[in-house]
Amino acid sequence: MRTFYIIVLLVCFALLSCESYPEADFYEVNGIVSIDARSIPDQNNWETRPYYTSVSKVSYEDSLSFAGRLTFPFFIRRPGAYSIWTLTKQLSDQSEENNLTFRVLDNQQFLLDDFRLQLNEIHALEWLNRDSRSGEEISVFFPKPGYYSIIFESGGRGGYVIDKLYLSLNGDRKPEGFAMPETNNFRVDPVLSKRDQRVVIPPAWSFGVIAGTSGSGEDAGKVMDQFKSVEIFPDALTQTAGDHTIISEHGIQPGIILFDEHNRYVDQQNGFSDEYSNPLQNLSASRYHFVKLWPGAGFSVIKDTFELLLEKGLPEHRRGFVMSGLENSYIPEVKEYPAIWSSLADVDLLRLRDNENYIYGLKETISMVANPVKSTYEIPFLLLNIGGYYRDISQMDEEEIVRWVQFLAFYTMMYLHSGDEDISEVISSLPEESLNYIAKLLEHRGQLFPFIYSLAHLVRPTGVKPVRGSAEYPGQFWLGNAFLVAPVYQKGAIEREVFLPEGIWYHYWDGTQYRGGETITVDAPLYQVPVFVKAGSIIPYRQRADTITAGSNDVMKVDVYGGDRGLFRLYEDDGITTHYQLGEFSTTAFRYFEHDDYATFTIGRMVREYRGQPARKELLLAFKFVDEPVSIIANEENLERGDGAGQWWYDQGKSTLLINWVQPNHQKTDFVINFSKGDYDM
């Protein structure tokens, strides 16, 4: 009987494997249709051109009102209602003109429905699916399997941009970033294909503070002196020319900016030309640790530069780091050559120059990285210029600079650079109170490195970025699952509205507890960025060090926020080589559970290891917002009160339990925390 069932299963599998459909350019696969506009031949007043983060279809003007049809054909396998999304941008600064008509037809050219896509008042690419006539989200019912098409109509008007078309059965999977890969093969699951896209992790120092100067080696030395005078220690610094030994003497990673002094398009051929101020071959002699490419560099140049850096500029097996422009973001393989910088991404910032109510470009930049409907949401490691590239930072006042630094201090990567100005000179000229505050923010960021670096490595197996957000609240963002950050982008504001998702939340700076599921208003004075931590969060911190490479995870504080269960997986490797790709890394799981009258906390046995890894860690475990326990058991042994190793004490004023603990790498430790009667009431 068992053999019979096995045979039946094998037959069913064989039949499914032989599943076939009529030939088509694009298919619906597992409820998804995904088509890049550049895959559609140029037709009827539409041409393929680079735009912003991609290569898109752009309409050009024609006097004939019926001109400008662009057809997307596809084959639907599973009938049903599909949400239709278009990655596009506004046509005009006049809102009444921002509509794009399209029709949905079956294989007999019968009209299923027609819509006027409402375009938002932005120039950056974003996903849209709202009809301007009804105000409803766009959805079409496909009654049976077969060929269908969607035809966009420019009406002879120029300036429309279409980058991608995306359909989702029942709207179950909304597009984010560049959405799923094209569905041109019905046997390839787009979700799995997306997950399999290879991501290379930047070196550990790049998650500290990267500073920029537009000067030479001598200028870079002055920059370092200015930073040191105010106790700011960047991890890396870019310069345009000259000897980098001055930077190296400060213990800083040296980088070189490659640009074309003739303002030509950078391609593979002229990228090695002597007409460049900094031709690529200089890398072999100078041993710079990373390269910043000027906007316009094609993907082949990025690849060549990255490989040349590995071959000539760095010791063997070191990680490369090449900063390239946004225009290659649509290419999945660009994630193998980190990282991207926002370069000339002022398509939505230029119009803000005269807006005196907002800090220049900050709100739009937050949306770039935290709003899933933006194409820039795709980029896991994106460096951002303060104020946007064209903003003259010397004209930015104290408030603008402080608010920008607050945002970047809780962002994935911190890049202190803006246009052609040396930010060190501007920062060092700030009032002493602001300087001290900025120095503390940067110090805090360095201490948060174990948390940020662990999030960065989640991109490889899961595709989940360290920074995430929602289209409904694009001015705030998550850093991992622990932090909710709401930077202040209105000038002169001392309050900030923040939406807290469901759950229990704590104000990061003063510990005030909030119930989620609603919008709250909190104080936001100049020297405080609104940050909240979700109950159950587990956050590791390392001790203070001048730079990331000078620090270590040997001694850490681990904050555990009471009120809910939590899990965090600490990721570690050597931080500088590519050996992590061969499995040389380690992970340690931390788990916290709360019960009626006790809590449990587990430090898992370290999984895997890397060369040079210390054998143990010294940990200060801080359980915040919990009741005072009556006893604590670790691996079935009672711990004594005190402040020595293996002992615990309770801070009554802060409602915090602290345990000093030495954790061997290959040991699992189970803590049981028994609370007194009258449990801590959440």
Residue 350 banded pLDDT, cuts 50, 70, 90: very low
Task: Judge whether residue 420 has pLDDT over 60.
Answer: no
Q: How do the domains of the chain map onto residue ranges?
A: 32-195, 204-460, 552-675
The stretch 224-232 carries a mean pLDDT of: 75
Model confidence at 272, pLDDT cuts 50, 70, 90, reads very low
Q: Going by C-beta distance under 8 Å and a sequence separation of 6 or more, which residues neighbour residue 198?
A: 333, 335, 336
- Per the structure block, which two tokens stand in for 198? 């290879």
Q: Is the pLDDT of residue 47 over 80?
A: yes
Query: Where is 167: in which H helix or E strand?
Result: strand 161-169
632 neighbors 672 (Cβ within 8 angstroms)? yes
Average pLDDT estimate for 253-263: 67
CATH number assigned to the domain with residue range 204-460, chosen from the 4 options 3.30.830.10, 3.20.20.80, 3.40.50.300, 2.60.40.60: 3.20.20.80
The pLDDT-based confidence of 256 (bands split at 50, 70, 90) is: confident
At 399 the three-state DSSP class reads helix
Higher pLDDT, 679 or 51: 51
CB 591 within 8 A of CB 566: yes
Mean pLDDT of the chain: 87
pLDDT band at 243 (very low <50, low <70, confident <90, very high): low
Let me know: does 257 contact 288? Beta carbons within 8 Å: no
Q: What is the pLDDT of residues 318-342, one digit of tens each?
A: 899 999 988 899 999 999 999 998 8
Structure confidence at residue 678 as a pLDDT band (50, 70, 90) = very low
- Residue 212 has what pLDDT? 78
pLDDT at 177 over 70: yes
- The CATH T-level fold of domain 32-195 is Jelly Rolls (2.60.120)
Q: Do domains 32-195 and 552-675 have the same CATH topology?
A: no
Place of tokens 């896509």: 117
Could you report the per-residue pLDDT of 509-561, keeping only the tens digit for each? 999 999 999 999 999 999 999 999 999 999 999 999 999 999 999 999 999 99
The pLDDT of residue 421: 59
CA 114 to the chain's CA centroid: 36
User: In b/e form, how buried is each residue of 621-654, taking b as 16+ CB within 10 angstroms?
Assistant: bbbbbbbebeebebeeeebeeeeeeeebeeeeee
Complete DSSP assignment for 592-618: EEE-SSEEEEEEPPPBS--TT--SEEE
Collapsing DSSP to helix, strand or coil, 512 comes out as coil
Copy the structure tokens of residue 494: 């001392």
Let me know if domain 552-675 sits in CATH 2.60.40.1180: yes
Report pLDDT for 87. Answer: 98
